[in-house]
Amino acid sequence: MGFPGTWMTESESVVYRVVPKCACSTIGQIMYYSDHGSFFDGDIHDAKGGIHKWAMDDSQPLITSNVKAHDSYSFTCVRNPYTRILSSFFDKICGIQRNGKRYRGNLVPLLIQKYGIEVGDPETGFEFDQIKSFRRFLLFARDTIRWRRPMEPDIHWSAMSGHISTFIVNGGKYDKIFWTEQFNDGMQQVLDKIETPNAVDLGAIPRFNESEGHGPKRLHPVEDYFDDISMHLIWEIYKKDFQLFKYDFENPGNKMPIGEIDLSEVHAKLGE
């Protein structure tokens, strides 16, 4: 199995387990900058060098030996499950991707046909009933995660605990898990613990939100998208995420965590 979704600086100053839709573009660029003194020109997910990634064959033995020996500080970043799946919907389902096409080719037509989802059109300003379509998308997301049909679950809406657990199960150990909602505080704590070839001034780092501008703007407050049934589905999919990363399930409108993350609890629960 190894360490899928794991990135490491070339200097091996730090190891990061990517969790999609949790500031991963910004984190990747900070890692790249900390080694090279400049940002990667383009989306860091497209970088084929300048940073080690599990997806690159040459990086795998280096990442494996580092993680198994816990030679470097290791971290990841999480996000409120309500806002994370909303972001996935607007970016991946409604949005036009970097290549000018819909995400995953036939996925959106499948959703329109099987679940009655509308996604709008950039030509008409993405006009559609966002709340109704999102709730239908939620059914689809639950079906993929629970029954792996009509397709395997996608990394952008599968549970964070699933991504984070592979690192632990295969022999890794996290030194820090922080919240996207308190990004600067969490990222600074990571930077304070590591030595980087180039100093990083977090206040001067832009936010690399690669999904922004590709799709419709969210028109309503977060809580408006989640009725009682939607919340039931969210709990079914993301129960562990709420419990381990201390988010407020009862109030979709509160994106902030309501407790401290207990790393020993995370390792115990996700290492089983």
The mean per-residue pLDDT over the stretch 73-87 comes to: 97
pLDDT reported for residue 210: 62
Span 30-70, pLDDT tens digits: 999 999 999 999 999 999 999 999 999 999 999 999 999 99
Strand partners, 73: 14
Instruction: Tell me how crowded residue 177 is: count the other CB atoms within 10 A of its CB.
Output: 21
Of the chain, the percentage scoring pLDDT greater than 70 comes to 98
Dihedral angle over CA of 143, 164, 229, 122, nearest 10 = -70
Q: Look up residue 179 and give its two tokens.
A: 């919240």
The mean per-residue pLDDT over the stretch 167-182 comes to: 98
pTM confidence score: 0.94
Average the pLDDT over each of 61-75, 112-126, 128-142 and give the range with the smallest value: 112-126
Average the pLDDT over each of 51-55, 121-125, 178-182, 195-199 and give the range with the smallest value: 121-125
As a whole number, the mean pLDDT across the chain is 94
pLDDT reported for residue 192: 98
CA angle 5, 6, 12 (to 5 degrees): 160
pLDDT reported for residue 213: 61
d(CA 234, CA 238): 6
Q: How confident is the model at residue 122 (pLDDT cuts 50, 70, 90)?
A: confident
Q: How confident is the model at residue 77 (pLDDT cuts 50, 70, 90)?
A: very high
d(CA 269, CA 162): 11
Of the chain, the percentage scoring pLDDT greater than 90 comes to 86
Whether residue 97 is predicted with pLDDT greater than 90 in this model: the reply is no
126 vs 75: which has the higher pLDDT: 75
Burial class (CB in 10 A: 0-12, 13-18, 19+), 3: buried
Whether residue 124 is predicted with pLDDT greater than 80 in this model: the reply is no
pLDDT reported for residue 125: 72
Instruction: Tell me how crowded residue 262 is: count the other CB atoms within 10 A of its CB.
Output: 14
CA angle 12, 17, 20 (to 5 degrees): 135
d(CA 76, CA 3): 13
Whether residue 123 is predicted with pLDDT greater than 90 in this model: the reply is no
Whether residue 158 is predicted with pLDDT greater than 70 in this model: the reply is yes
Burial class (CB in 10 A: 0-12, 13-18, 19+), 271: middle
DSSP state of 195: -
Q: Which residue type is seen at 63?
A: I
Q: Alpha helices, DSSP H only, in the chain?
A: 24-36, 60-69, 81-88, 107-115, 130-147, 160-169, 183-193, 228-245, 263-270
pLDDT reported for residue 211: 61
Average the pLDDT over each of 53-62, 117-126, 139-148, 163-172 and give the range with the smallest value: 117-126
Strand 14-17 and strand 6-8: the pairing is antiparallel
d(CA 210, CA 189): 24
d(CA 11, CA 192): 16
Whether residue 228 is predicted with pLDDT greater than 90 in this model: the reply is yes
Strand partners, 8: 15, 52
